[in-house]
């Protein structure tokens, strides 16, 4: 593991991608910033983080033979690594909210953004951006957000949390590369937020609400929802939003 520490940067993902163009970087090269000025989340959302209080970092992962069609397994591996880390610290009521937000109860404590580098139908490398709320205690204007310190009432050592995240990432990527996709998917589904519970969704194409039950995830990472008359429909990230 090569660790590059920055005082501040606009985005650790952007910094790491630019670094890749300048030099050949080893697997699990990590860029971590004390302050991230323009962090990004899924669908172009921003990620806010107080300086020196949280973990904002990006991990480079090279792939030997990863097909484009299997890219959602990257979401499973990374979100499960965060889940296992938080479970080790006994953070209560942890779930993964599709595709890869990490919740305690209904409060978000971690966001993940994975950006892939492609060559034909293969993914050669991934830049995995992780924003984990650790010691921040105030989130002005942000509902349903929490941190490890708020949940446990104590200060956490950022290096200790980072090292455990990376350790879990390494273990789960080894499992993935050994072909244990089905066990990874089973573990992911076991902790998926609102699975098998009647929930409210927004159809992002027409902005209409509907009720459904999350039943599964397709091999491509689409959310499989049981709607009225027990019909199963699949949705991608741009088509549906699960409401709290």
Per-residue pLDDT of the chain (244 residues; tens, 9 = 90+): 899 999 999 999 999 999 999 999 999 999 999 998 765 555 555 556 789 999 999 999 999 999 999 999 999 999 999 999 999 999 999 999 999 999 999 999 999 999 999 999 999 999 999 999 999 999 988 889 999 999 999 999 999 999 999 999 999 999 999 999 999 999 999 999 999 999 999 999 999 999 999 999 998 999 999 998 889 999 999 999 998 6
The closest of 69, 18, 55, 66 to 218, measured between CA atoms, is 69
Q: What pLDDT is attached to residue 141?
A: 82
Q: If you write DSSP's letter for every residue of 3-39 in order, what string do you get?
A: EEEEEEES-HHHHHHHHHHHS---TTEEEEEEEESSE
Of 130, 199, 118, nearest to 165 by C-alpha is 130
pLDDT at 150: 97
The superfamily CATH assigns to domain 2-190 is Bira Bifunctional Protein; Domain 2 (3.30.930.10)
**What does the pLDDT read at residue 44?**
52
- Domain ranges in the chain are 2-190, 198-242
The answer to whether domain 198-242 has CATH 3.40.50.300 is no
């Amino acid at each position: 593991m090569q660790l590059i520490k920055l005082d501040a940067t606009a985005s650790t993902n952007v910094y790491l991608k630019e670094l890749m163009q300048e030099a050949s970087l080893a697997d699990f090269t990590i860029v971590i910033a004390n302050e991230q000025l323009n962090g990004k989340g899924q669908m172009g959302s921003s990620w806010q983080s107080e300086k020196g209080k949280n973990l904002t970092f990006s991990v480079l992962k090279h792939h030997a033979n990863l097909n484009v069609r299997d890219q959602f397994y990257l979401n499973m591996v990374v979100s499960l690594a965060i889940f296992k880390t938080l479970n080790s610290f006994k953070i209560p009521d942890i779930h993964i909210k599709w595709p890869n937000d990490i919740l305690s109860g209904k409060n978000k404590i971690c966001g993940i953004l994975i950006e892939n580098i492609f060559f034909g139908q293969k993914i050669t490398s991934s830049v995995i951006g992780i924003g984990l709320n650790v010691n921040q205690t105030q989130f002005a204007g942000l509902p349903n957000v929490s941190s490890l310190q708020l949940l446990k009432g104590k200060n956490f050592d950022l290096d200790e949390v980072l090292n455990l995240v990376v350790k879990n990432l390494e273990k789960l990527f080894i499992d993935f590369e050994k072909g244990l996709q089905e066990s990874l998917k089973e573990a992911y589904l076991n902790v998926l937020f609102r699975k098998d519970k009647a929930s409210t969704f927004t159809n992002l194409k027409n902005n209409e609400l509907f009720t459904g039950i999350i039943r599964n995830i397709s091999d491509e990472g689409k959310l499989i929802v049981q709607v009225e008359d027990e019909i199963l429909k699949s949705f991608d990230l741009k088509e549906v939003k699960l409401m709290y």
